[in-house]
Chain A
Amino acid sequence: MPIVVDGTRLPARDSLVGAVEDAWDRLRQPGTWWSGPERLAVAEEVRRAHACALCRQRKAALSPYAIAGSHDKAAALPVEAIEAIHRLATDAGRITERWVREICDGPLGEERYVEIVALVAIATALDTFDRALGQPMRPLPATITGEPSRSRPRGARRDLAWVATLAPEAVSAGDPNPYPVHGDKNIHRAVSLVPQAVIDFFDLDVELYLRDHEIRDFAHEHRAITHRQIELIAGRASALNRCYY
């Protein structure tokens, strides 16, 4: 789907347009721990979270943990999943290790939480792109039936982050391996408990931002804006999200 704004088809890299379409298509397919309909329900909840009264109260509060209540929701997902989605979507910068551990040690489980983290990020990226461009919010696509693969990497350990991650050297033959293509920084390891989620997010992100080897290739400009302009935008967006990393 080309990028058309105000009746004008905008110049956009084919690889960017393709990555966006791929990302939408993968959202509706069965994942590792969530089915296609469930994954789209996560995307729907990300949208709903921004109008959620409880989320707005928590965002305005000195501490989000001081405000109890129920989220405004539509999706038929477990209540713990709704809490995770809404918090990640609206106030991720104030998420604590304690909150993550409580979510992961509860009925939702660590694997399903980690896949939710990736899905929230992907849905946020897609919707933010459309908002920035001035395109209307895209209707969610039809789902694809099928069962999740439900495969946890044997080598995953909780030795880096608040959730288990899969170190590059611990990838097994049966695991999807995102590291050779996208890199092995901590940001690539973050959701590696669900290796396909790393691939899904970064296949999109390298077209929105830059590929790992392009980030410090200051001898070349890989976009229609400069490295400095890219990092200015990145820094401001990160600061507004209160992201430490």
Chain B
Amino acid sequence: MPHGALLIAFVEAVLGDGEEAVACARAEVRRQLGDAAFVDACATIASFNAVVKIADGTGIPLEDWKAERTADLRAELGLDAYRR
């Protein structure tokens, strides 16, 4: 995927504590992807740093059709361990 590693680094920097790391990642995303893509990447990070609180704060279950389609993937990655 184009710029996959850079986008991962950007997410981790934004959600981490280091200001220098965020500034470096930000500059690199802008340089490599351009400002329009940078804005949308920022927006996506914001969305998912937020929506998780709605899911985790209310305990909504996975929809049955999602659970069926992702059963193998969740087992392989150990994601079911995240359930409380």
Residue ranges of A at the interface with B (Cβ–Cβ < 8 Å): 3, 8, 10-12, 16, 88-89, 92-97, 100, 114, 117-118, 120-122, 124-126, 128-129, 131-134, 160-163, 165, 185-187, 189-191, 201, 205, 207-209, 223-226, 228-230, 232-234, 236-238, 240-245
Q: With A88-B53, A205-B47, A225-B33 given, is the CB distance from A232 to B60 under 8 Å?
A: no
Are A92 and B58 closer than 8 Å at their CB atoms? no
Are A240 and B82 closer than 8 Å at their CB atoms? no
Can you list 17 A-B pairs, Cβ within 8 angstroms, ordered by A? A10-B35, A92-B52, A94-B84, A97-B59, A131-B22, A160-B60, A162-B59, A186-B60, A191-B54, A223-B44, A224-B40, A233-B11, A233-B45, A237-B15, A243-B56, A244-B62, A244-B79
Q: Which residue among B15, B23, B41, B56 has the maximum number of chain A CB atoms within 10 Å of its CB? A: B56
CA distance A160 to B60 in the complex (A): 7
Q: With A161-B61, A186-B60, A224-B37 given, is the CB distance from A234 to B44 under 8 Å?
A: yes
Are A124 and B49 closer than 8 Å at their CB atoms? yes
CA distance A97 to B59 in the complex (A): 7
**Complex interface: chain A residues within 8 A of B79 (CB):** 244
CA distance A140 to B72 in the complex (A): 45
Closest-by-CB residue of B relative to A235 is B48
Closest-by-CB residue of B relative to A84 is B57
Are A241 and B61 closer than 8 Å at their CB atoms? no
CA distance A100 to B54 in the complex (A): 12
CA distance A148 to B4 in the complex (A): 45
Closest-by-CB residue of A relative to B19 is A131
**Complex interface: chain B residues within 8 A of A12 (CB):** 36, 39
Is B55 an interface residue, CB under 8 A from the partner? yes
Q: With A134-B23, A224-B34, A244-B79 given, is the CB distance from A88 to B57 under 8 Å?
A: yes
Is B63 an interface residue, CB under 8 A from the partner? yes
Q: With A205-B51, A225-B37 given, is the CB distance from A117 to B57 under 8 Å?
A: yes
Q: What would 12 more interface pairs be, CB under 8 Å, given A125-B50, A242-B82?
A: A118-B54, A128-B15, A129-B46, A132-B26, A205-B51, A209-B44, A209-B47, A223-B40, A224-B39, A225-B7, A228-B1, A244-B82
